[in-house]
Chain A
């Protein structure tokens, strides 16, 4: 179980980040906390990116082993996805519908 979780840790970080930024944005816009959105999303993204890098760094030396290779690969995909999603705050204003 622990090995399976470690293997998928990168995409689990992605899932947590995605849930957090989408959930918080929805909540903040419903409650009128518009100003907080960019800060919270930015901080969550920085945290998630750090986690992905840490996962890759920890598994890198054993990357020829299958499970470690999967851990590295999934964390790399997660890194790209987290980065792209997080970059949205630099281009799109919060809580605007049209």
Chain B
């Protein structure tokens, strides 16, 4: 054992200062809390609420289907019920629930004091919670969407679905996805940059790996559905024909974009659950996870391969058979890494001494159900079988085996396992066994018969069926099972109400004798000192670690900057790089979230003025929030222990802010990639040839020249700032960027967006570019304002660097857009 990083005993008052700084606000101001443990628990709680609400919808549907020709629920309401059940379960329960578990667990598991952007987590939570509640409430006014959770046009176009029901889906879900992306940025930067010193990638807990893959998948998958909702809303509101064949569009474009998101979505939900299982199984078996490296490789492989599966949701659409075969083969290939993880969990159980308690039971239930769901998955991945089973209850059975087996059971295992980490008491073991038994038996009784109902020909989404069809007994069994499952969940809720007492500072502690860092003694400030990690399971393999950490003998035992702060380390080897100051609680993110939600949802009701007022409040809150960022550099380097002195301020490619901007640009690039795909897809699908040229080449070239010149001016401003000068050159860049965009808008004047799919898609490019130009200009004005206020100089310049990065990105993206819109037709002509 090496000498500990910091000398003992610690000075008096060091711990008291930590406690004072990290104290969550009291009273009404508690709403402004940003500590990851509190936000995490609220986030999980909200997700659980939506799970219950969507579950109630399922029970209403099962009651309706219990007997043939039932009159309880009318078809119009039934359509809303199944649409809301699927949508709420996927978007308001599953993704937020796993994201919430990440926010709750990751900092402590990685040895950080908090995630790098605590206010962003708070914003993501409030935006989701308020937006989600209003979205759900649409059901009580008969305004809920009816097009199914995947909202296929042409059914969902204005022609066949007039009214605002579908708009609720498009705006509401589009908005909630933004909150998911905010969480993903937070999680990626948190995992790669705030690990405890010595926690190399090889020693990183598997849950963190799973969350990293999860967040990267959100970055690449969610923009596809955001673009899809945007295009469909443009078609519904303004008649831009992306999906209507009458205007040269193609409804299959929606299916491609939706499933390019929708299939990875399944793994976005499953991988974090698998990550949780990989944490719980070693603790329950009291043995390290078998083949950890192979499990990490499998997680990464699933993350990639899952992007090559989307067409297997479209086997029945008439796509050429060879293309289907590619996706069939990829769907088979993805079963291998999933299988490897299952074998690793079984092997871990086999080599350890298994404790037969509630988390173990839920894990075993998960293994049974998920393997069955995986097997039916391989069945429906076979094209000819899929043609038989498509749109029947067989698919309903399959997807519930995968999702409930693959995500809900691990999540319940996680609830039982991690409750002692945030609550004064663990949940009841006795009740837990009943919860498990009811849920496991209820689930199988409800969903196993559906395989048979489906093979007998019962289609999905019908509100009733004829007694002559012979499906009545099976449906009655399913309904009984559904209520059993619900009884198990109800018992769980009662147990939580009786035993769960939120208290991160005096939690029940390491009742499972687990080996990872989140079980170190902790307070609102996470751990007293940040441990030096030398092994995969530090609590098992580094004796005395808990006492040393609690006594403050490891890194950063107090506040280095007199504010909340955490240690930032290098992404691969986790070597200390600098101390990051973290923000205190504040109203700005909360107000920004509430009013952004109001803005989007009131827009659905076409209440334009009230909506605009809310938008302005949200914008004001965001500006106030932004103004408080990039605090003044806080003096001398900090001594964090072991003779290591690190700076307390950082800008440029090493800073967390730069990394967040880089992730955001990946999101943007993915969105633009999907737009380029849409262009090419509409071009191949078009019944008439597209025009060979959009405008004389001089126009796009002039636009390009102005854009590039504006970027060059930012480069000039950077050099000037480094020499101690000003950033005045960016003033000239503003009209150049705006002018470049205006010229490219002018070049499209002969192709109205309502004319045909070509006009619509080139204007979609223009609109997206316009949005980025507006954001870039706002960021630039912000930087200029801070310069005038004396808050931006050669040293204090995060704001300038991020604006510059975004500006260059905007110019690059617009250049690609010009090349596609003006160059592509010329090349193919």
Contacts and interface: CB of A to CB of B under 8 A. Distances in A.
Contacts of B333: 77, 80-81, 84-85
A50 to B, nearest CB: 19
Contacts of B332: 84
B385 interface: no
A66 B202 CA distance: 6
Contacts of A94: 320, 322
A11 B300 contact: yes
Interface string A55-98: 00000000000110110011001101100110111011111111
A74 B293 CA distance: 11
B343 to A, nearest CB: 15
Contact of A89 (B318, B322, B337, B572): B322
Nearest to B302: A77
Contacts of A14: 304-305, 308
Contact of B297 (A15, A29, A73): A73
A90 to B, nearest CB: 10
A15 B308 contact: yes
A98 B384 CA distance: 10
Nearest to A25: B323
B305 A77 contact: yes
19 contacts: A11-B304, A14-B305, A25-B323, A26-B323, A30-B684, A70-B296, A73-B293, A73-B297, A78-B301, A84-B329, A84-B330, A84-B332, A85-B326, A88-B325, A92-B321, A93-B321, A95-B320, A97-B321, A98-B321
Interface string B304-324: 110110010000001111110
B257 to A, nearest CB: 15
Contacts of B685: 30
A97 B293 contact: no
A5 interface: no
A77 B337 contact: yes
B419 interface: no
Contact of A69 (B293, B326, B334, B337): B293
A66 B293 contact: yes
A70 to B, nearest CB: 6
Interface of A: 3, 8, 11, 14-15, 18, 21-22, 25-27, 29-30, 37, 66-67, 69-70, 73-74, 77-78, 80-81, 84-85, 87-89, 91-98
A25 B321 CA distance: 10
A15 B322 contact: no
B324 to A, nearest CB: 8
Contacts of A97: 318-321
B336 A77 contact: yes
Given A3-B572, A11-B305, A77-B305, A96 B297 contact: no
B35 interface: no
B336 A80 contact: yes
Given A25-B320, A74-B297, A81-B305, A91 B330 contact: no
A69 B300 CA distance: 12
Contacts of B684: 26-27, 30
Sorted from nearest, which 6 A-B pairs have the closest CB atoms? A73-B297, A66-B202, A88-B325, A81-B333, A11-B304, A84-B329
B202 A92 contact: no
B642 interface: no
A94 B326 CA distance: 12
B494 interface: no
B201 interface: yes
Contacts of A21: 326
Contacts of B462: none
Nearest to B681: A26
Nearest to B327: A22
B304 A15 contact: yes
Interface string B778-803: 00000000000000000000000000
A37 B320 CA distance: 12
Contacts of A8: 300, 304
B322 A93 contact: yes
B774 interface: no
B305 A22 contact: no
Q: B interface, by DSSP: helix, strand, loop or mixed?
A: helix
A45 to B, nearest CB: 11
Contacts of A96: 320-322
Given A11-B305, A74-B300, A77-B301, 11 more contacts: A15-B307, A66-B293, A67-B201, A69-B293, A78-B301, A80-B336, A85-B326, A88-B322, A92-B321, A96-B321, A97-B320
Contacts of A74: 297, 300-301, 304
Contacts of B200: 66
B294 interface: yes
Contacts of A18: 308, 326, 330
A15 B326 CA distance: 12
Contacts of B304: 8, 11, 14-15, 74
Contacts of B328: 88
A72 to B, nearest CB: 8
A40 B251 CA distance: 29
Nearest to A71: B297
A88 to B, nearest CB: 4
Contacts of A91: 325
A36 to B, nearest CB: 12
Contacts of A25: 320, 322-323, 326
B156 to A, nearest CB: 25
A29 B294 contact: no
B297 A70 contact: yes
A59 B397 CA distance: 43
Nearest to A88: B325
A36 B319 CA distance: 18
Nearest to A7: B300
B90 to A, nearest CB: 25
A40 B307 CA distance: 22
Contacts of B325: 85, 88, 91-92
Contacts of B336: 77, 80
Contacts of B334: 81
Contacts of B294: 73
Interface in B269-322: 293-294, 296-297, 300-301, 304-305, 307-308, 311, 318-322
Contacts of A37: 322
A88 B201 CA distance: 37
Contacts of B320: 25-26, 29, 94-97
A26 B324 CA distance: 11
Nearest to A87: B329
A85 B332 CA distance: 10
Nearest to A19: B308
A77 B330 CA distance: 11
A76 B330 CA distance: 14
Nearest to B303: A11
Nearest to A79: B333
Nearest to B296: A70
A92 to B, nearest CB: 5
A94 B294 CA distance: 37
Contacts of A87: 329
A88 B326 contact: yes
A41 B677 CA distance: 20
Contact of B329 (A29, A67, A85): A85
